[in-house]
Structure formats: structure tokens, C-alpha cells
Structure 1
Amino acid sequence: MDVFDILDRLVAFPSVAGKPNGDIADWIEAYLAQQGAKVTRLPGPEGDRSNLFATIGPADVPGYILSGHMDVVPAAEPQWSSSPFAMRQEGERLYGRGTTDMKGFLAAALAAVPILAGRRLAKPIHLAFSYDEEIGCRGVPHLIARLPELCARPLGVIVGEPSGLRAVRGHKGKAAARVVIKGRSGHSSRPDLGLNAIHAMADILSAAVRETERLTHGPFDPAFEPAYSSLQAGVISGGQSVNIIPDSSTLDLEARAVPGVDPAGLLAPVKAKAEALAAQGYVVEWTPVSAYPALSLHQDAPVAALLGELTGETPLAAVSYGTEAGLYQAAGLDAIICGPGDIARAHKPDEYILASELIGCQRMIEALGMHCAA
């Protein structure tokens, strides 16, 4: 199978984040085993989805991890020109959910496996494919925890998120949370007998807006746009009718932090404001939704120099989106982003990747194999 056949098969699995992923994991596992790779399936605590870890070459020697996620975001938008889970080609463009984010990278890595397996690798190349990245990088921590028993300490991790095949050394960290305020309902003509959850939520929203403004004053990191950490209220809901005192209101928040700043800590003032409402009789529920740390790889890191050689371009300092790379770095491993496609095409109808981008990525991975065979 070539890279296009593999991508076609991968796109056909509707592996939406938060859902069972047995079908796609089964297919990838069988393909890798067929190519002679040593494959380990790593079931997650959810019981219906798994990570996969495969090794080509000697597992007891330090090598490199190619990291990607098998899940995709939903594809319910009506603007799709064709079925999102049936790959469609028009010229150079290959359409389908996940083609860019990030089954294109998975396909390129899998297509390179027969070439890698045919070489006598002195240093191994590992494939680490995770689940539920799109809903907060929930799967990969379980995989990272198992690495010491799966392989020698890696020399570096290449996370294949779409970057135009330009290596990237940094991204912001993120934390998201949901706050639910429960008050007491009643007729709007007697507000004195109820507890208006929307009015209470207004205090929390105001606290979030104040924090948003405060963060614009730094600390700063010029590698990013914007150069400071940020916080936003993304979704708010509550109430039934204008003449009913709303007894519940929900707010979803996220913070994105420059390296050196704890993203969860940015939400702390808002959380404190919410919890203070309990003294007024409200019931407050604060639920962390997702979190991952920032990535900040030093420009002199060996894996950065290696990716510069493999791509022919100096790695970029940073991008605005987040990846699993920060979690690998938090575990003590040098991690860098480099994958095919453009992030601007992701998470929207008619997502696509270029055939040339797939081929370019496969060639980069095969060049990594030559480096590991030397």
C-alpha cells in the first residue's frame, strides 16, 4: 500500500475524539505487525479506546519517537462538499476529516515502515499513536507513563502536527474548565424568593474579563502571537424563559500560557470568585476539562539540529496552537513539532492535504531512517 491508500483507509474510520477507537487501532496494529514491527496495544482507563506503540529496530537502544493522534474532531458541518469520512481527490488536494489533522502524518509514517524495516537500524524508530488528543490530550499521558518499559530513553520525539514540514520548537500551554452555578428558580416577579444563576455568573464572567486584560501586561515571550498569555470565556448558557428566575448557568473558560507560566494558575482567580458564591447560597461546580503544558525546546537541542538537516530549514521558534509535545517535554524528553499540511485547514469543512505534502513527509521519515541506520 502506498501513502495515499493508507490515508484513504485511515480517513474511512470515523475516529471522533471521545468515542471508541477499536476499529482504527485494530487496522493500524495489524498493518504494523504485517510489516514486522513490534506492536504494543495500550488500553486506556476508559476501556473502549487504546494507544498504540510500535518499534522498528532495537528497542533497548536510544532512538526517536514519531508521535501522532488517531482521533479527529467531529465533522457535522453541512458545508462539506462530500462525505468527510470518504477521502476524495481533486488534483493535488485530498479531502476528508483528519487528512491534515493529523492522519496525513500517520499515513506518511506507516507508508515509510516497510522502508525502515528493510534497513538495519542502529537506532530504533518508534511510532506512538494516541487517542483523544482533540479533547485535551487525554490519551497520551497513559502512553508516556509506559515508555520506560517499552523502549530505551528516546533521543527525541517528533510530533507530526501540521506545520508545513517546518520544525517548531515551542507552543503555549493550555488549561480549560467548566463552571456550573446552581441557584433557585421561581417567578421573575419575585426575584427576592429566588437565586438568579445568570446574575451570579455575571460576577464570574467579569472576573474572567479582568484577568484577560491583566494578562496583556505580561509576562511576554516575543516568539508568540500574541506575546502574552491569554484567557477567554468561550461558551455561556443558562435560563429557560425571560419570566423564570434561572436556576442554572454554565460557563466554559480556557487559558493559554507562555512557557514558564502555569496555564491552570491563570484560571485560579476566576475559580476563587466562583467558589465565593457558595456563601450566598449558590451551589458551585468547577470541573477541569483539559490541560497540557507549554513546549519550549532550546534552539541548540540535538533533535532541533536533526530536524533542520532533515527538512533543510531552520526550526521556527513557536506556533500558536498546542500539541502533545509539551507533555513529552514535561516527562523529560526533547520534543519538537514537524508534520505535513497547514493547521489553517484543520477543524473546518473540506479539510484537505496536498499529495506533495504527504510524499514530502514520507521522504523526511525515510531520511530519518537513513540517519538511524548510520
Structure 2
Amino acid sequence: MQATEILETLIAFPSVVGTPNDRIVAWIRDYLERHRIAATVLPGPEGDRSNLFATIGPKDLPGYVLSGHMDVVPANEDGWSSDPFRLRADAGRLYGRGTTDMKGFLAAVLAAAPKLAAMPLRRPIHIAFSYDEEAGCRGVPHMIARLPELCEKPLGAIIGEPSAMRAIRAHKGKAAARLTVRGRSGHSSRPDQGLNAVHAITDVLALAVAEAERLSRGPFESTFEPPYSSLQIGTLKGGQAVNIIPEACEAQFEARAISGVDPAGLLDPVRQAAERLIKGGFAVEWQELSAYPALSLPDDAPLTALLKGLTGKEPLAAVSYGTEAGLFQQAGIDSIICGPGEIGRAHKANEYILVEELEACESMIAALGATCAADSVKEPRR
């Protein structure tokens, strides 16, 4: 099958983040096995979602991982010109939810897989497809934990997020959390008989704003825009009516961290401020929603040089969005971002990818196969 045909099939699976993905996983597994590539389905703890892992070439030698996620964000935006879960082709553009982020990469990998299987690979190429990346990289940690039993430690991982087929060496880490404060409801004419959760949470919000301002003063890492860690209040919900003392209030916070900074740690002052409300009689619930580390691959790393050779483009130092790459690196696997499409087209109506971008990705994967067949691999320093 051609990459475009495969993409049409993948788009038809509405594998929205946080929902069961058994149908798309089963199709990919069956496709690979039709080409005599054994695939391992790795169920997650949720029970209705799975990762998928496959190896092409020798399993007892270190090789490279082609990593992507099977989930997509919902397609509820206004402005779609066609069914977002039905691929539409127009003048070299392929429209549909997930075409760029990131089923285009999956399609290119799957189209290249039979060709890779026919090559005399002396280094393996692994396929690692995850779930719930769009919820904060929730699925891939379970797959990374299983890698020691699935393969030799890889030399590197290529995460195929949309990058216009230009390798990217770094991104910030991220953590997100939800705070729920519960007080006591009542009539607004008797505030002395209630506990106003909205009033209480304002102290926490004020501290979060102050922390955001403090972070903007450094430390700095010039490769990022902005060059500092950040913190924001993303959502705020509370109250029923103006004459009712609000019993509950909920806020969600997000932190993004430069290299060497723990993103979850940036939220600690906010959590501690919330916990101080307990002394005032409020119930406080703090729930971590997601967390993943920053990516930072050195400019002189062998994987950087490899991707420069495979793409013919000088790698970019950093981007502002996050990926699963930091989790692979945290596990001791050098990682880099490189995939078809552009991030600016993602998460919006009429998302699309170019046919020529799919072809460029297939060419990169074919070049990786040729490198692994020749075994002209410079191993990273350990």
C-alpha cells in the first residue's frame, strides 16, 4: 500500500485521545503481520488502550526507534470543509484530523515497513506507536518501561512529530495539574454561614501569577522562545449563581520548563499555597494531569549528525511544543524530533499534510534503512 492509502485508512479510525484504540491497533498489527513483521500489542493500565511495538531486522543488536502516537485531538472546531475522519485530497493536500499530527508519519513508516523488511538490515529499526500522547504523553511511559524485554537498548529514537522534515534537538518539559477547592454553600446574604471557595482560591491564583512573573526573570536558555520557564492558569470554574455562596472552585495550571528544570517542581509553590487553605476549613484536591521532561540533544551527538545526513537539512536547536522525545531521553535513549507536516496546521479545522511531505518522510526512512544495512553507525558515547 502507498502512504496515501494507508493514511486514508488511519484517518478513518477516530482514535481521539482518551478513548479506546483497539480498532486502529488491530489494523496496524494485522498490516505488519501481513508483511511478516511481528508486532507486540502492549495494553495500558486503562484496559481499553494499547501501545504497539515491532522490530524489523536483528533483535539482539542496538538500532533505532521510529516513534509516533496513534491518538488525535477531537475534531469539534467550526470551519471543517469536509468530514474530518474521511481523507480528502485536493491539489496535493490531504485533509483530515491527524494528517499532520501525526498519522502522516505513521503512514510513511507503515508504507516503508515492507521495503525495510526486504533489506538486509544489520541494525534493527523499531516501530513504536503510542496512545494518549495528546493528554500529556500518558501512554508511552508504559511502552518505554517494557523496552528492555522487547529489544536491545536503542541507539536513538526519532519522534515523528511535524517538523517540516527538519530535525529538532530540544523542547521544553511540561507539567499540568488540576486544583479543586471545596467549601460550604449557602445564601449570599449570610456569608458568615458559608465558606466561599472562589474567594479562597484567589490567594492561590495570585501566587501562581507571581510565580509566572518570577520565572520570566530567569534562568534563561536562549534556544527557546521565550527563553525561560513559564507557568500559567489555564482554566477556572466555580459558582452557580450570583446569590449563592460558591461551594467549589476548580483551576488548572500548566508549567513549561527549560532544560534541567523539573516541570512538576515548578507547580510545587502553587500546590503548597492550596494546601494552606485546609487550615481555613476547605477541602483541597490536587491532581497531576500530565508531566514529561524536556528534550536536550547535544549538537555534536551522533544522532544529530545522522539526521542531518538523512534529511540533508541542518537541525533546529529547539521548538516550543512538547513531545514524547524527552521521555525516551530520560530512559537513556538519545532522541530527536523529525517528521512530515508543520505544527501550525495541527489542532485546527482543515488540518492537512502535503503528498510531497509524506514522500520526503519515506525517503528519510529509506535512507535510515540503507544506513542500518551498511552498519555505518557511529554509536553514542555512554
When the two structures are superposed, what TM-score results if normalisation uses the length of structure 2?
0.97
Shift of 1:291: 0.2
Q: Aligned runs of 1:288-367 on 2, under 5 Å? A: 288-367=288-367
Q: Which whole-Å CA distance do the structure 1 matches of 2:343 and 2:201 have between them?
A: 34
The equivalent of 2:102 in structure 1 is 102
1:27-49 CA-partner distances (Å, limit 9, x unpaired):
00000111111211111111111
Q: Report the secondary structure of 1:107's partner residue.
A: helix
Q: Which whole-Å CA distance do the structure 2 matches of 1:199 and 1:349 have between them?
A: 38
Shift of 1:123: 0.5
The equivalent of 1:23 in structure 2 is 23
The equivalent of 1:271 in structure 2 is 271
The equivalent of 2:145 in structure 1 is 145
Q: Aligned runs of 1:222-261 on 2, under 5 Å? A: 222-261=222-261
Count of residue pairs brought into register by the alignment: 374
1:68 aligns with 2:73: no
Q: Which whole-Å CA distance do the structure 1 matches of 2:348 and 2:200 have between them?
A: 35
Shift of 1:348: 0.7
What percentage of residue pairs aligned between the two structures are identical? 66
The equivalent of 2:377 in structure 1 is none
Amino acid at match of 1:294: A
Q: Which whole-Å CA distance do the structure 1 matches of 2:201 and 2:341 have between them?
A: 40
Q: Report the secondary structure of 2:267's partner residue.
A: helix
Q: Report the secondary structure of 2:291's partner residue.
A: strand
Amino acid at match of 2:349: P
Amino acid at match of 2:237: S
Q: Aligned runs of 1:130-279 on 2, under 5 Å? A: 130-279=130-279
Q: Report the secondary structure of 1:78's partner residue.
A: coil
Q: Which whole-Å CA distance do the structure 2 matches of 1:119 and 1:169 have between them?
A: 29
1:2-46 CA-partner distances (Å, limit 9, x unpaired):
000000000000000110000000000000111111211111111
The equivalent of 1:287 in structure 2 is 287
Structure 1: gaps (5+ residues): none
When the two structures are superposed, what TM-score results if normalisation uses the length of structure 1?
0.99
Shift of 1:95: 0.5
Q: Report the secondary structure of 1:219's partner residue.
A: coil
Amino acid at match of 1:367: A
The equivalent of 2:379 in structure 1 is none
Structure 2: gaps (5+ residues): 375-382
1:44 aligns with 2:44: yes
Q: Which whole-Å CA distance do the structure 1 matches of 2:89 and 2:233 have between them?
A: 38
1:88 aligns with 2:88: yes
1:208-256 CA-partner distances (Å, limit 9, x unpaired):
1000000011110000000000000010001000000000000000000
Q: Which whole-Å CA distance do the structure 2 matches of 1:240 and 1:326 have between them?
A: 41
Q: Which whole-Å CA distance do the structure 2 matches of 1:36 and 1:297 have between them?
A: 34
* Cα RMSD after superposing both structures: 0.6
Q: Which whole-Å CA distance do the structure 2 matches of 1:162 and 1:94 have between them?
A: 14
Q: Which whole-Å CA distance do the structure 1 matches of 2:327 and 2:12 have between them?
A: 29
1:173-202 CA-partner distances (Å, limit 9, x unpaired):
000000000011011111111111111111
Amino acid at match of 1:338: C
Q: Report the secondary structure of 1:234's partner residue.
A: strand
Q: Report the secondary structure of 2:284's partner residue.
A: strand
Q: Report the secondary structure of 2:220's partner residue.
A: coil
Amino acid at match of 1:243: N
